[in-house]
Structure 1
């Protein structure tokens, strides 16, 4: 399938694999001369290699115009062309037309996902901060946890962009050529990686908090908590890394991207972040880890991760 895609692109141009389907309604749809003028306008637009009309529907209420871009479906220039047609080319003609097709649909999907991602980030981070603050009765611990989790996710984003978008070492994982990151990938990676990272974080912090409540010594609590949980966290992360890395052996580019992103995130989170950065920052902060204003402590609900009253 990939070879056929490349052969069509080489023979007929990169835009042949991602045509834009423009539906035309109203008087223009049933008027061959008006439709021909509209097609000519599209044909003269920068970024359009060729445009042609298809036969109208039986009742003459709908016609279809197929426009082939000069750029590939994955190129940013193609997405810009879709926006340009909708905002600057079609409205002045007065034609009742809508730009659709897989390429335009992909651009719309990416725009919709990108517009909602900030709400997802803010909602998940805020709720996680509040829950951790209620569990550990602290301000710095949940703040640190959120920041550390973002480091793992950021590292995963950086690796998949470097490999799949910039093309660094793509031949090593069997990817033909570099291209843009799929619009769904950042949101899905964020949701899954943040959940896994928070799981490791709560497991480690609950053990440290237990030791601190028992001894009152932050340094020994961090050391004992890390010693008690390091093997479990490492073993669990190792299993996840192997499972997600197996996705890279598949043939689908999306599967490779998803698996590699998750494997890198879990590996960095369980090693550099969870075993080095978290204990180091907690050791440096000392007893300030467990400080919380008295009025806030009274307002927050009591939550016990062990399920005890």
Structure 2
């Protein structure tokens, strides 16, 4: 199979048939063998009924329904596990991504030998104040932190070589950082392609300021994991040594000060009245905590087991 199209969605009943017809027309006109995988992330409208009807009419349409809303990352994870195509294309279900971009995305993967191609919505139809401006800040921070030079990390339209999606773990809210996860896994042939962005036709956007905040928190998480995820003791142990060094020097200063005053007959104050005593005590306690955090991180890393992160309620009969 040439192409798997993975589409996570939440309450997009109105757009699904139009999106399916559009994708199918593009695939037919380019003679692609394909499958379309819809992941219903806990929709409360008729999205699942529509997906089920489409799968009954066309066995290339597959559907996965979550028991509740788990988030886009979990939906992509489930779709990636099911995908069988040599090239996997992800897109949103709101008709803002254009299926006519798929042939060029496929060409870049198969002919130009890129491992990941990310869409870049250079001209957007979103609200400039609430979405476009925060996105620019977010993307600049992501480029600086990750070293992956993309203009639009959060674009839903991306194409992957099959090996990429089978060897990365998309969890939490990390769907924004799949290019970074791919780079950390050793897939360095990453590029971007300018794609058309279209105004939302049905329903309301799922974007909110909370996602913008979570995006920056996730950016910090992925930076930490890429640097110290395999050896947490390298970070926490280093901080612990630094704290102990500061505490040791502070304690040494207190001892030297008392000996100096004793030698010169200067009256000594109680150690408890010396502010350096509290500095030494505090940083030594913090140093101990950092060491414990490092040890616990190493233990967790060695004892962790894979756990299911979402509960699938139903699948279509062809899965």
What TM-score bracket applies, with the shorter chain setting the length? under 0.3
More helix by share: 1
